[in-house]
């Protein structure tokens, strides 16, 4: 009885194993390459006092007030387009979100207030400050605004279950 070596099934099995190893390795690489909003750029530390000055110098006070601020309070009769900044929020205002809101405001308008904050073309009525604002002013302004937000979690009842359970089991 002759023992014939058949290389085709062995080579095919090796090829399948090689492809599977590549796919698993590629999948792991994709899953570990998550988006980190803090990566990509780093601006130098900012200064709160200089940020308050930039808020005033850049004309932000014409359309914005800052919650609980004696320097930039809410006007007696705010217009429909007046926007209050700072105060208690349910989610963190990240550095990147604040930078985006300042340099590309059309990107960050909330849908529930969009109708009063956009022009006929759907773009923000906030003026483009990127030609007159220095990087230093941007950094200081974002630092100032970040410190004006306070993340507050809602006070849920003890038997509250967001997934539909009404009663504690």
**Region 25-49: what's the mean pLDDT?**
66
The pTM of this model reads 0.64
DSSP string, 18-66: HHHHHHHHHHHHHHH----TTSS--PPP--HHHHHHHHHHTTGGGTEEE
In the predicted structure, residue 79 carries a pLDDT above the cut 70? yes
In the predicted structure, residue 145 carries a pLDDT above the cut 80? yes
For residues 136 and 44, give the distance between their C-alpha atoms in angstroms, rounded to a whole number: 9
For residues 28 and 54, give the distance between their C-alpha atoms in angstroms, rounded to a whole number: 45
Proportion of the chain above pLDDT 90, given as a percent: 21
Superfamily for domain range 48-151: Cupredoxins -  blue copper proteins (2.60.40.420)
Hey, which residues does 66 pair with through a beta bridge?
85
Domain parsing of the chain, residue ranges: 48-151
């Amino acid at each position: 009885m002759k023992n014939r070596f058949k290389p085709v099934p062995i080579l095919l099995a090796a090829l399948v194993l090689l492809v599977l190893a590549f796919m698993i390795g590629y999948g792991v690489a994709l899953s570990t390459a998550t988006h980190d909003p803090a990566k990509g750029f780093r601006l130098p530390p900012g200064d709160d006092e200089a940020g308050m000055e930039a808020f005033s110098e850049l004309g932000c006070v014409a359309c914005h007030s800052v919650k609980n601020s004696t320097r930039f309070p809410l006007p007696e009769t705010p217009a429909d387009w007046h926007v209050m900044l700072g105060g208690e929020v349910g989610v963190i205002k990240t550095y990147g979100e604040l930078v985006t809101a300042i340099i590309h405001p059309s990107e960050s308008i909330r849908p529930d207030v969009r109708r009063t904050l956009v022009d006929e073309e759907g773009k923000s009525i906030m003026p483009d400050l990127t030609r007159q604002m220095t990087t230093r002013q941007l950094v200081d302004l974002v630092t100032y605004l970040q410190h004006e937000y306070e993340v507050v979690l809602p006070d849920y009842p003890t038997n509250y279950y967001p997934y539909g359970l009404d009663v504690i089991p």
